[in-house]
C-alpha cells in the first residue's frame, strides 16, 4: 500500500528566501508525482506533474524533482513571496489512476 509523507508539516520563512519542500513515498512503482497548492477553504490547484520517466519539471519560480529509486520528490520555490503562503500537497499516482496524498506542508511567507 502506497504511503506518502511530507516534511516539514509547517514552515515559516521571510520573504525572498528560497525553500525546499520534501515528499517521500514508499512504493517506487509510480506513474506520476503531482504537486498541488491549497489555499484555506479552497480546492486544489495543480502546480506541477512529473512523469515517472522524468527527473524534474519547472514552472516559473517552481521546480519539482523526482527520484523514484529513493522514493523522494522535492518542490523548490525560489524567491518566496507572501502570496506563496498556502498548503502544498504532493500526490503519487500508481497504476490504478487514483492519487495517494501526503498530509501537506503549510507554508507561511512573512513580509
Partner 1 sequence: GAGVSQTPSNKVTEKGKYVELRCDPISGHTALYWYRQSLGQGPEFLIYFQGTGAADDSGLPNDRFFAVRPEGSVSTLKIQRTERGDSAVYLCASSFIGEAYNEQFFGPGTRLTVL
Residues that bind partner 1 (CB under 8 A): 4, 31-32, 34, 36, 42-46, 49, 51, 89, 91, 93, 96-104
Closest to 9 (Cα-Cα) out of 76, 102, 111, 109:
102
Least separation in angstroms between residue 57's CB and partner 1 is 11
Nearer to partner 1, 50 or 77 (CB): 50
Query: Which residue, among 90, 78, 96, has the nearest Cα to 44 in the 3D structure?
Result: 90
CB of 13 to partner 1, least distance (A): 21
The minimum distance between CB 98 and partner 1, in angstroms, equals 4
Q: Which is nearer to partner 1, 9 or 79 (CB)?
A: 9
CB of 4 or CB of 64, closer to partner 1: 4
The span from the CA of 34 to the CA of 23, in Å, is 11
Nearest CA among 40, 43, 68 for reference residue 54: 68
Terminal alpha carbon distance of the chain = 41
Kind plus residue range of the DSSP H or E element containing 7: strand 4-7
Which CB sits closer to partner 1, 81 or 103? 103
Amino acid at each position: 500500500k502506497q504511503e506518502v509523507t511530507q516534511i516539514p508539516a509547517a514552515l515559516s520563512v521571510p520573504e525572498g528566501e528560497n525553500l525546499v519542500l520534501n515528499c517521500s513515498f514508499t512504493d517506487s512503482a509510480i506513474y506520476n508525482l503531482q504537486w498541488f497548492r491549497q489555499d484555506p477553504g479552497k480546492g486544489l490547484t495543480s502546480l506541477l506533474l512529473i512523469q515517472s520517466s522524468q527527473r524534474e519539471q519547472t514552472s516559473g519560480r517552481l521546480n519539482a524533482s523526482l527520484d523514484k529509486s529513493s522514493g523522494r520528490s522535492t518542490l523548490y520555490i525560489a524567491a518566496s513571496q507572501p502570496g506563496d503562503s498556502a498548503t502544498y500537497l504532493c500526490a503519487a499516482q500508481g497504476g490504478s489512476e487514483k492519487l495517494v496524498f501526503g498530509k501537506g506542508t503549510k507554508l507561511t511567507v512573512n513580509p
